[in-house]
Structure 1
Amino acid sequence: MIELQNIKLSFSSKTVLNDISETFHQGEVIGLVAPNGTGKSTLMNVMMNYVAPNSGKVIFENGLTYSSKANEVKIHQLISMMPDQSDLYNHLSGRDHLKIYCTMWKSDSKLIDTTIAALNMGHYVNKKAGTYSLGMRQRLCFAMQIVANTEIMLMDEVMNGLDPINVEIISNVLMEKKAEGKMIIIASHLLDNLEKYADRLFLFKDGKLMDVDDIVEGFSEPTMTTVRVKNMSSDVKVAFQTRYPTIALQTLVNDTTLLTLDKKDAETLGSMTAYLAELQVNDFTFGKVTLNDLYAMYYGEES
């Protein structure tokens, strides 16, 4: 468990973390979504005590906090942060790196071979890291955190530089760790993938965490509340809003217009689509608001 209690942090005159209070639990995958520079990585650094907040505190199981160096040592047996590629030693092999992390966190050495197999690293893991491609280095960084085997795992852009096959492989490992009761907090730009496996999703805006279910009611539920229209003309928008003044209409940067009901309403949904056909609009689909939609709405860009 991690409880963030009134975390505030400013650099010069810029507020980066603005009174954040939230609790995360074991067995959860938490997704943090926002453009670079909005505070996601800083929040993770606060959880690790790499950066001290101006006020507020991070609380772990049994009320453990970063109140002393002795407590920090105890906490860092519970929590780890995925290393960055710049942390790798080019003269050491991938297996050497895994042995180091296994030793540092006093975890089971059997995890080394099982992790190598799970991530399909066997053909290069004994070579020096300096010979690795970016994707191989990223897999090694992920593997290092997996063999540390901490109860809480923080991952910043874990899927960076990976092809779709390796994204799927890592996603499967994450699901296995979740089933073991690990808490995994991930900051990511791969929103389609993140939306598939995260239990809770948060946007970062003006230094605050916003639960997507508070932004869009029932976001996490598989209900069809949205009609997505491509290249909807201004005249059609005016006609539609005249007929349906209570329906939310928003056009995203990719020229997709979302027509969203407050809740599931099959009768209105059917009437809306019939009216679109009457207006000779045929390029539309049913669905729900997606994480990519929310990203475009809040940050004015596509992920």
Structure 2
Amino acid sequence: MLEVQNITVQFGANKVLNDISMTFEQGEMIGLVAPNGTGKSTFMNVLMNYVKPTKGKVVFKDGLSYSNKSNEVKIHQFVSMMPDQSDLYNHLSGREHLKMFATMWQSDLKLIDETIEALNMGHYVNKKTGTYSLGMRQRLCFAMQIVTNTEIMMMDEVMNGLDPNNVEIISKILVKKKAEGKIIIIASHLLDNLEKYADRIFLFNKGKLVNTNQVIEGFSQAHIKTIRVKNMEDHTKQQLHELFPNLELQTLTNGMSLIHLPSSEASLLSSFTSFLVERNVVDFAFGKVTLNDLYSMYYHEDRNGDSQLKKNNHINYEE
């Protein structure tokens, strides 16, 4: 268990984190999503005690908190943060790094070879890290955290610089670790991947953590009904409003129009499909609001110049 109690981090007049209270349970994968500079890294650094909060505290199992150095040592036996590529020693091999981390956290050394095999690192892991590509270094950093085998794992942009195949490999390892009961907290800009695997996803707004289900009620549920239409003409939008006045239309900055349906009744879907096809609109798809859509809605202005963040819409798209 990990509980955040009234955490505030303030630099001068700027509240980077503003009175955040939250509980994370074992076996949860948590996603953190926001533009740079909005508090993701600061939040994770507070959880590691790298940044001291202005107010509040972080509480772990058995009521442990960062109240003294002795407690910090105890906490860091079961909490870890994925190292950064700048933390690697170019004169050491990947295997030496893995052995160092496994030894520091007193984990099972068998994890080293298991992790090397799972990440397909065998052909380079015995070479000095100074010879590694960015992708190889990133995989090593991830592997170093995995061999710690801590109960709580935090990762900032774990997928950076990885090709789709390695993203999928790492994702499967994370799912396995979650099944083992670990708390995994990931800050990432790889939204499709995060949406696929995270149990809960939080945005940042004015120093607060905002659950995606607070922005769009039922966002995490599969039964949200939305039609995504690329580059819909203005005159078609006008006709849409006239013929379907109860439907809500949003146009994102990338030109994608989201049409939110009050239900998934076959008659409504059929009528709307006919409406689009009759107007030669063929690039559309039925589904749900994606995390990419939500990010754009929440942090960017739509084509009418209205900031979705300022409007702070809370929309119910459930059937």
The TM-score normalised by the length of structure 2 is 0.90
Q: CA distance change for structure 1 residues 56 and 268 in 2, over 3 Å: closer, same or farther?
A: farther
| Map of 1:187 onto structure 2 | 187
Q: Please give the residue correspondences for 1:1-303 in structure 2 after superposition, counting only pairs within 5 Å.
A: 1-262=1-262, 264-300=264-300
| Equivalent position SS for 1:274 | helix
| Equivalent position SS for 1:67 | coil
Displacement of 1:292 after TM fit? 0.6
Instruction: State the alpha-carbon separation in 2 of the partners of residues 117 and 108 from structure 1.
Output: 16
Q: Which amino acid aligns with 2:177?
A: K
Q: CA distance change for structure 1 residues 69 and 34 in 2, over 3 Å: closer, same or farther?
A: same
Displacement of 1:283 after TM fit? 2.4
Aligned length: 302
Q: Which amino acid aligns with 2:148?
A: A
Displacement of 1:265 after TM fit? 4.5
Q: Which amino acid aligns with 1:36?
A: N
Contact 1:224 1:286 in 2 (8 A): no
Q: CA distance change for structure 1 residues 20 and 270 in 2, over 3 Å: closer, same or farther?
A: farther
Listed one character per residue, the Cα deviations across residues 150-176 of structure 1 (whole Å, up to 9, x for unaligned) are 000000000001111111111111111
The TM-score normalised by the length of structure 1 is 0.95
Instruction: State the alpha-carbon separation in 1 of the partners of residues 180 and 51 from structure 2.
Output: 29
Instruction: State the alpha-carbon separation in 1 of the partners of residues 236 and 114 from structure 2.
Output: 57
Q: Which amino acid aligns with 1:222?
A: A
| Equivalent position SS for 1:95 | helix
| Equivalent position SS for 1:38 | coil
Deviates more, 1:203-212 or 1:94-103: 203-212
Q: Which amino acid aligns with 2:232?
A: M
Q: CA distance change for structure 1 residues 159 and 72 in 2, over 3 Å: closer, same or farther?
A: same
Q: Which amino acid aligns with 1:29?
A: M
Instruction: State the alpha-carbon separation in 1 of the partners of residues 124 and 264 from structure 2.
Output: 51
Q: Which amino acid aligns with 1:85?
A: Q
- Structure 1 unaligned segments of length 5 or more: list them: none
- Structure 2 unaligned segments of length 5 or more: list them: 302-319
Displacement of 1:62 after TM fit? 2.0
Instruction: State the alpha-carbon separation in 2 of the partners of residues 59 and 233 from structure 1.
Output: 53
Q: CA distance change for structure 1 residues 267 and 59 in 2, over 3 Å: closer, same or farther?
A: farther
Displacement of 1:184 after TM fit? 0.5
Displacement of 1:59 after TM fit? 1.1
Instruction: State the alpha-carbon separation in 2 of the partners of residues 9 and 262 from structure 1.
Output: 41
| Map of 2:305 onto structure 1 | none
Q: Which amino acid aligns with 1:12?
A: G
Displacement of 1:238 after TM fit? 2.1
Contact 1:81 1:154 in 2 (8 A): yes
Listed one character per residue, the Cα deviations across residues 49-81 of structure 1 (whole Å, up to 9, x for unaligned) are 100111111111122111111111111111100
Displacement of 1:263 after TM fit? 5.1
Identity %: 68
Q: CA distance change for structure 1 residues 275 and 188 in 2, over 3 Å: closer, same or farther?
A: same
| Equivalent position SS for 1:271 | helix
Contact 1:225 1:265 in 2 (8 A): no
Displacement of 1:141 after TM fit? 0.4
Instruction: State the alpha-carbon separation in 2 of the partners of residues 181 and 53 from structure 1.
Output: 28
Listed one character per residue, the Cα deviations across residues 248-268 of structure 1 (whole Å, up to 9, x for unaligned) are 211112111000135545443
Contact 1:85 1:137 in 2 (8 A): yes
